[in-house]
Amino acid sequence: MDLSIIIPAFNEHESLPELLESISGSVNPLNLAYEIIVIDDGSTDTTLEVLRALKQKYPRLKVLSFRKNYGKSPALSEGFKIAQGKRVITMDADLQDDPAEIPNLLAKLEEGFDMVSGWKKNRHDPLSKVIPSRIFNFVVAKLSGIPIHDFNCGLKAYRREVVKSIQVYGELHRFIPMLVRWQGFRVGEIPVLHHRRRYGITKFGVARFFNGFFDLLTVLFLTRFKSTPLHIFGFLGLISFFIGLGVELYLTWHWFAGYGIGQRPLFFLGILLIIVGVQFIGFGLLAEMISASLAENVNYSIKEKIE
């Protein structure tokens, strides 16, 4: 199998027939052995019936239907598990991503990238979504050091090894490039066509902004400090501890000089900083114990074995 195309779909019954038509139109000429995997994420409309009917017309179609709505990340994750292709493409079901870009993404992979992310350069979404998303992408690019413009584009291409080694759960699909890069894979980007949503509505409300922020913390934490939690907690703890200690030493000196210090706000701040500092260090040590006991099950990302 050369290529697997994975499509998460939650209540997208109007879009799916056109989507499959358009995928066939742009992939058939490439002469590849390919499969289309649609993950019906617990749709409550006729998505599943539509897919059953489409299977008659498109034998390459495979469908996995969740009993309930789990979310885009779990849908992608299950798709990654069953994908058989040497290359994997993901795209949204709502016709906002254009299958005409599939050959371009595959060509970019051949340049030596392990994953290529689409960049919705000319985006057709409401401003209320585009502006927060710009800020989000800017912050994530800076913090992760990955120089791409669009982390959360549904249209992406991967080499098989990549999708078999990342864990996309919760709502971490927004951070896939970070998860991929962290395993040591090369991440690239190309601008892709983007269309306005024609049918149905967006499946993510305002909650996406808050969740996105918390998930950013999670991902930073999991990628950088998962196996070395004391590096972050110990660092913060020491800073807090020494500032607190400095404050109290200064007050001690005042006390010897004959001033009262028991009523000074600074006195309490110093104590607080020392306690927080010690707590953080203890917390970091505890986290180290947890990570040490999990270490047996850590999977290192192996590029090649020569025997």
9 binds ligand UDP (CB under 6 A): yes
97 binds ligand UDP (CB under 6 A): no
Give the three-class secondary structure for 118. Answer: strand
12 binds Mg ion (CB under 5 A): no
CB closer to ligand UDP out of 77 and 144: 77
Among 58, 199, 204, 225, which residue sits at the site for ligand UDP (rule: CB under 6 A)? 204
CA-wise closest residue to 76 among 134, 147, 151, 154: 154
- Tell me, by CB under 5 A, how many residues bind Mg ion: 3
Among 12, 35, 78, 94, which residue sits at the site for Mg ion (rule: CB under 5 A)? 94
Give the three-class secondary structure for 25. Answer: helix
35 binds ligand UDP (CB under 6 A): no
Q: Please identify, among the stretches 86-94, 212-220, 265-273, 288-296, the one whose residues bind ligand UDP according to the rule CB under 6 A.
A: 86-94
78 binds ligand UDP (CB under 6 A): no
125: tokens are 């979404």
Please check whether residue 258 is in contact with residue 298, taking contact to mean a CB–CB distance below 8 angstroms: no
CB closer to ligand UDP out of 71 and 118: 71
DSSP element (H, E) containing 64? strand 61-65
- What is the per-residue burial (b if ≥16 Cβ within 10 Å, else e) of 244-260? beebbeebeeeeeeeee
Which among ligand UDP, Mg ion, none contacts residue 277 (Cβ within 5 to 8 A by kind)? none
8 binds ligand UDP (CB under 6 A): yes
Instruction: Give me the helices (H) in 83-125, please.
Output: 102-110
Phi, psi of 23 (to 5 degrees): -65, -45
Per-residue contact string for residues 153-192; x = within reach of ligand UDP by CB under 6 A: -x--------------------------------------
- Could you tell me which residues are beta bridge partners of residue 157? 89, 116
83 binds ligand UDP (CB under 6 A): no
CA-wise closest residue to 93 among 25, 53, 40: 40
CB closer to Mg ion out of 18 and 271: 18
DSSP element (H, E) containing 278? helix 265-294
184: tokens are 């040591």
96 binds Mg ion (CB under 5 A): yes
Among 4, 96, 183, 240, which residue sits at the site for ligand UDP (rule: CB under 6 A)? 96
Which among Mg ion, ligand UDP, none contacts residue 163 (Cβ within 5 to 8 A by kind)? none
CA-wise closest residue to 10 among 73, 101, 89, 62: 73
Show the CA angle centred on residue 127, arms to residues 137 and 22, nearest 5°.
80
Q: Which residues bind Mg ion (CB under 5 A)?
A: 92, 94, 96
Q: Which residues bind ligand UDP (CB under 6 A)?
A: 8-10, 12, 41, 69, 71-72, 75, 92-94, 96, 154, 202-204
